[in-house]
Amino acid sequence: MFNGFTGVLYRELHVFSKKAKKQIIASSLSPLLFLIAFGWGFGKEVTVDGLPYITFLIPGLITMSALNQSYGIALELNISRFYFHVFDEFLIAPVRQVEIVLGEACFGIFRAMISAALIFIYSILFGVKLIISPIFFLAFFFHTFLFATLGVTMAMIVKDHGSQASVNTFVITPMIFLCGTFFPVDKLPAFFKGMVHILPLTYSTKVIRASLTGGNINTTYLGLMAAFAILFFGTALWAVKRVEA
């Protein structure tokens, strides 16, 4: 019944398990560097939105790492499409495309959970107290699902490995720097403020930060995250249906 879904997860988890150590170490490094540079650098004296900066920063880093990991499946999908053609095995198999999308999305969420767990450990080491609201789990799910399905969409529509790298340079990295990971977007000039409100990461960061620091959850933003998740699920499905090997 769910051969496609099971197959995709079987493949991804087996490949992952062989490189898990390396990947986990690699993905744990950049948030640690940010914590040391910004957290300790101007950590406890500076307060932002009424929070010590490091407390403000950690939920941002959780959101960022979760994005990197869930969206990051795009890179591997690319390698499996263009270099080893392993993805053709999924396309040739008698399975529904929706199962391929959901399998990959689940794997993206799984990777994001590992990276988030690492930062929760950091928060303890850095002595930061987080207040985890149940909304966090829902928001985290929307956030990682939407970026995983965006990753699937992008991996299917790019024509080669180089274009995938450009998407990262021109979309993902600017988004991480502008959408509230390191500072509140309200401080941006009006033009940029308008612009970042088109980008889903802005809402993810706000909702996830509020759900970890005892802030008020903006339900409109949570709804927008769900809307983005549905939108990108749709584009991913469309992209997998039309992809050609």
Partner 1 sequence: MPSDKPILQVRALTKRFGQKSAVRGIDLTINEGEFWGLLGANGAGKTTTIKLLTGLTRPDSGEIQYRGRDFFRFFREAKKLIGVVPQQNNLDRDLTANENLTLHAILHGIPRKHRAERINEVLDVAGLTEYRDKPVKTFSGGMKRRLVVVRSLLHHPRILFLDEPTSGLDPQIRRNLWELIQKINREQKTAVLMTTHYIEEAEKLCHRVKIISSGQVIADDTPEQLKKGIGHYVLEGGEQELFFKTMQDAKDKQKTVHGESSVREVSLEDVFIKLTGKRINV
Among 22, 45, 50, 92, binds partner 1 (CB under 8 A): 92
Q: Is 131 helix (H, G, I), strand (E, B) or coil?
A: strand
Segment near partner 1 (CB under 8 A); pick from 1-9, 52-60, 125-133, 215-223: 1-9
The answer to whether residues 212 and 62 touch, using CB atoms and an 8 Å cutoff, is yes
- Rounded to a whole number of angstroms, the distance between the first and last alpha carbons of the chain is 25
* C-beta separation of 20 from 13 below 8 A: no
Among 95, 176, 201, 240, binds partner 1 (CB under 8 A): 95
Give the span between the Cα atoms of 213 and 95, in whole angstroms: 43
**Interaction pattern, residues 4-23, with partner 1; x per rule: CB under 8 A:** x-xx--xx--xx--xx----
Nearer to partner 1, 7 or 52 (CB): 7
Tell me the closest approach of the beta carbon of residue 4 to partner 1, in angstroms: 7
DSSP state string for 11-80: HHHHHHHHHHHHHHHHHHHHHHHHIIIIIITSTTT-EETTEEHHHHHHHHHHHHHHHHHHHTHHHHHHHH
Nearer to partner 1, 6 or 173 (CB): 6
Is residue 116 within 8 A of residue 140, CB to CB? The reply is yes
Rounded Cα distance between 69 and 12, Å, is 13
Shortest CB 18 distance to partner 1, Å: 5
Contact pattern for partner 1 over residues 25 through 64, marking x by CB under 8 A: ----------------------------------------
**Least distance from C-beta 242 to partner 1, angstroms?**
8
Binding mask 62-91 for partner 1 (x = CB under 8 A): ----------------------xxx-xxxx
* Structure-token pair, residue 9: 């997860």
The token duo for 47 is: 């307060």
* One residue of 28, 48, 96, 227 binding partner 1 per CB under 8 A: 96
Residue ranges that bind partner 1, judged by CB under 8 A: 3-4, 6-7, 10-11, 14-15, 18-19, 84-86, 88-96, 242, 244-245
